[in-house]
Amino acid sequence: MQYLNAIPSRPVPEPSIFTPKLYVKCGPLLRYVGLRLDSVSQIAAKRGHVPTAKKEREVWRGTVMMVTVDDRSSFNPAPRLRLFAQSIEFLTGTREPAGRRDSASRLWRKKDGEKQQKYKDVVGTRLLHERGVTWWRFTIEIELTDKQARIAYRINRGPSIAFWVPAREETMNIMFHSCNGFSLGINPATFCGPDPMWRDALQAHRRKPFHVMIGGGDQVYNDAVAEQTTLFREWLLTKNPLHKYSAEWTDELSDELENFYLERYCDWFSQGLFGVANSQIPMVNIWDDHDIIDGFGSYPSHFNGCPVFSGLGRIAQKHYLLFQHHTRVYENESHEPSWIMGAEPGPYITERSRSIFMFMGRKVAFLGLDCRTERQRDVIVTPETYRLVFDRARREIVTGVTKHLIVLLGIPIAYPRLVWLENLLTSRLMDPLKALARMNVLGGLLNSFDGGVEILDDLDDHWTAKSHKAERNAFVKQLQHLAAEKSVRITVLGGDVHLSGIGQFYSNPQLGLPKERDHRYMPNVISSAIVNAPPPNAMADVLNKRNKVHHLDDYTDEDMYPMFPVDVDGKPRGNKRLMPRRNYCTLGEYDSNQDPEVEELSKASSRIGIPKFLRSSTQKKGTGLSGKSKQDIIVRPQGANAVDALEVILRVEVNQKNPDGATKPYRLIIPPLTTQSYDATAST
């Protein structure tokens, strides 16, 4: 685990800090599962009261999960989570010295819900018990108020941890990231380990709190299963294809892989600044191949479907659901309404896919599409599942109220074409090179899975691959129909490619549609990677040269938007469309005026400084980046205010050799969609 060794370990909490005692192996992990609108009249009726007015209350729903070591913990009674409000003034207060009372200490007591005996205790549910550990899930609900709120929680009287929920009807402040780990063969020290971008993100969270953290795939890199196992590695190295594909799935192999995924998740999700973020910012995740193993689903069917490889997929899915969704494979829409279950079990994992639909504020809906469970070499999502997804979106989106729909796909859908490379790697011209590689003359050309060319699975993964072209085009047209029908602006999020950029679909300029009335205008925000190594500049330049205006049909064009006219040092760039630097993204409602709450939070943060775990050795106390005040790096949108517009900021790493993680912001304003009427034939 080379890159895990690069993470500064957090001390494991001693059981004595919890009462009753707990030995926490992983967590706590915080997850957001959606908003629920409750009619006040319905609530009054349940309580036997006569309602006086029709109103709605907005309820934030989420879960907290942790893994405990059984023989070092006490579960009598079951673990309890205490939930209470803890306003921002609490950060500036101090404990009252003995024999002294002053206004500051009274303010501290007054603003802390637990001190006022205003709290709620939630008993943990035993989600799973095996291998000497127990997964505990705490289900929490919070009624939103007129202001965003800081909510704290503690488990078994342990240390308190806080997160933020938005105000009622407020659009959430969103963070988006992908590719949260290092590929095999990458030296983490070259990039100061995995923490720099997370350090910057947590500093941004202190200036203006994130209400949700979207993971776009590869939240954990499990490719090391090919190197850090015994039985599975022996199977991978089997030369005879017949023996390899017919090998039986054994209890011993299952036990080895269960142990690998358990330990990998517990290590990666609890350590470093990513572990800190997991406990303070509610997550919403969709998986991609590295959450399983590199390329899963994009290899030939005879390999993907063989007993050993499909068995690995099932174990990876089990742990993905446990750690990233706090659920078990048997739970479905009846247990959690944010799920959209696939129509039929997938071909290799043999379980139904799980897409997500929820709201991130009244005006912003979110759809996370599971593009891995049903994936085959020529299929990403089946037509029957697409139908379920779009039916759900049409039921949930409220015309005139829902202004934006964010669609999360693991891989960009508007991206430079690489079909020419696919054609080369699959042509007979490669046969002599493949023969040399099988004789170990050209090491690294072929993968150890199915013996194919190493990067071919990555190309087959892309929406723009020739095997997915028809499905991709049909999907884009369905999104256009939905946008026009519901008058909702659709923005796509994608990761995977270790570059940042903005792809875009838009109406043929000859149609003369302004952007705010163009239902075909659909930006694809590409943010990758927050941890993994970016490609060389030369590769990004090759991709940039492949960029041109493509014609989806007679009405729709697509290309890459020139998002990066200058580099992080302010110098002009030749490649204005793709940025090969580590990065993450933020999304929120555009406002040309500084939010007073953010300004106040910034002042409070300046007074208390930045905690040591957020400062690298080169940072000064009380500053965000080396030598810069926190106010200097607050992002303030420029230009005229656009009502209900969405602001997207790509935050790009300035220097990969500096552990500070300083970033430069690149901003895009996405207008809402205004359509007068919907004509299905015109949008085709």
- C-alpha angle 4/7/9, rounded to 5°? 105
**What is the rounded average pLDDT of the residues 536-558?**
89
Higher pLDDT, 491 or 547: 491
The CATH number of whichever domain residue 263 belongs to comes to 3.60.21.70
pLDDT value at residue 461: 77
pLDDT(433) > 80 = no
Phi, then psi, of 531 in degrees rounded to 5: -125, -45
In a domain? residue 330: yes
pLDDT(415) > 60 = yes
Q: Are strands 212-215 and 174-177 parallel, antiparallel or unpaired?
A: parallel
pLDDT(613) > 70 = no
pLDDT value at residue 418: 61
- Answer yes or no: do 407 and 352 share one domain: yes
Q: Are 271 and 7 in contact (CB under 8 A)?
A: yes
Band of residue 616 on the pLDDT scale cut at 50, 70, 90 = low
Band of residue 88 on the pLDDT scale cut at 50, 70, 90 = low
User: What residues contact residue 596 under an 8 Å CB cut-off, 6+ apart?
Assistant: none
Mean pLDDT highest for which of 12-16, 99-103, 214-218, 544-548? 214-218
Q: Are strands 212-215 and 352-359 parallel, antiparallel or unpaired?
A: unpaired
**What is the rounded average pLDDT of the residues 98-121?**
63
pLDDT(11) > 70 = no
- Answer yes or no: do 42 and 166 share one domain: yes
- Answer yes or no: do 210 and 124 share one domain: no
pLDDT value at residue 459: 56
Give the end of a domain, one of 130, 154, 170. 170
Higher pLDDT, 355 or 93: 355
- Answer yes or no: do 498 and 570 share one domain: yes
| Among the listed residues 589, 626, 499, the one whose alpha carbon sits nearest the alpha carbon of residue 200 | 626
Collapse the DSSP code of 99 into the 3-class scheme (helix H, G, I; strand E, B; otherwise coil) and give the result: coil
In a domain? residue 202: yes
- Answer yes or no: do 137 and 6 share one domain: yes
| Among the listed residues 406, 396, 394, the one whose alpha carbon sits nearest the alpha carbon of residue 368 | 406
> Which residues constitute the domain of residue 361?
172-418+462-592+637-670
**What is the rounded average pLDDT of the residues 16-24?**
87
HEC assignment per residue over 570-613:
CCECCCCCCECCCEEEEEEECCCCCCHHHHHHHHHHHHHCCCHH
Band of residue 271 on the pLDDT scale cut at 50, 70, 90 = confident
Collapse the DSSP code of 207 into the 3-class scheme (helix H, G, I; strand E, B; otherwise coil) and give the result: helix
Phi/psi-derived region of residue 205, left when phi > 0, alpha when psi is between -120 and 50, beta in every other case? alpha
Give the end of a domain, one of 170, 197, 219. 170
In a domain? residue 574: yes
Band of residue 658 on the pLDDT scale cut at 50, 70, 90 = very high
**What is the rounded average pLDDT of the residues 395-418?**
93
In a domain? residue 447: no
Band of residue 628 on the pLDDT scale cut at 50, 70, 90 = very low
Percentage helix, strand, coil for the chain under 3-state DSSP, each rounded to 5: 30, 25, 45
- Answer yes or no: do 560 and 657 share one domain: yes
- Answer yes or no: do 223 and 180 share one domain: yes
**What is the rounded average pLDDT of the residues 485-501?**
96
Q: Are 360 and 170 in contact (CB under 8 A)?
A: no
**What is the rounded average pLDDT of the residues 440-460?**
46
Number of separate domains in the chain? 2
pLDDT value at residue 33: 97
In a domain? residue 217: yes
pLDDT value at residue 677: 52
pLDDT value at residue 102: 46
Buried b or exposed e, range 69-91, using 16+ CB within 10 angstroms: beeebbbeeebebbbbbbbbbbb
- Answer yes or no: do 140 and 246 share one domain: no
In a domain? residue 442: no
Q: What is the pTM of this model?
A: 0.85
In a domain? residue 456: no
Over residues 135-188, the pLDDT tens digits come to: 999 999 999 999 999 999 999 999 999 999 999 999 999 999 999 999 988 899
- Answer yes or no: do 128 and 184 share one domain: no
**What is the rounded average pLDDT of the residues 299-324?**
96
In a domain? residue 359: yes
The lowest-confidence range among 49-58, 121-130, 295-304, 582-591 is 49-58
d(CA 389, CA 367): 9
- C-alpha angle 595/601/606, rounded to 5°? 130
- Answer yes or no: do 283 and 297 share one domain: yes
- Answer yes or no: do 228 and 213 share one domain: yes
Q: Tokens in use for 410?
A: 């693991």
- Answer yes or no: do 130 and 261 share one domain: no
Give the end of a domain, one of 170, 187, 211. 170
| Among the listed residues 662, 664, 660, the one whose alpha carbon sits nearest the alpha carbon of residue 649 | 664
Phi/psi-derived region of residue 117, left when phi > 0, alpha when psi is between -120 and 50, beta in every other case? left
The overall average pLDDT reported for the chain is 83
User: What residues contact residue 424 under an 8 Å CB cut-off, 6+ apart?
Assistant: 430
HEC assignment per residue over 646-680:
EEEEEEEECCCCCCCCCEEEEEEEECCCCCCCCCC
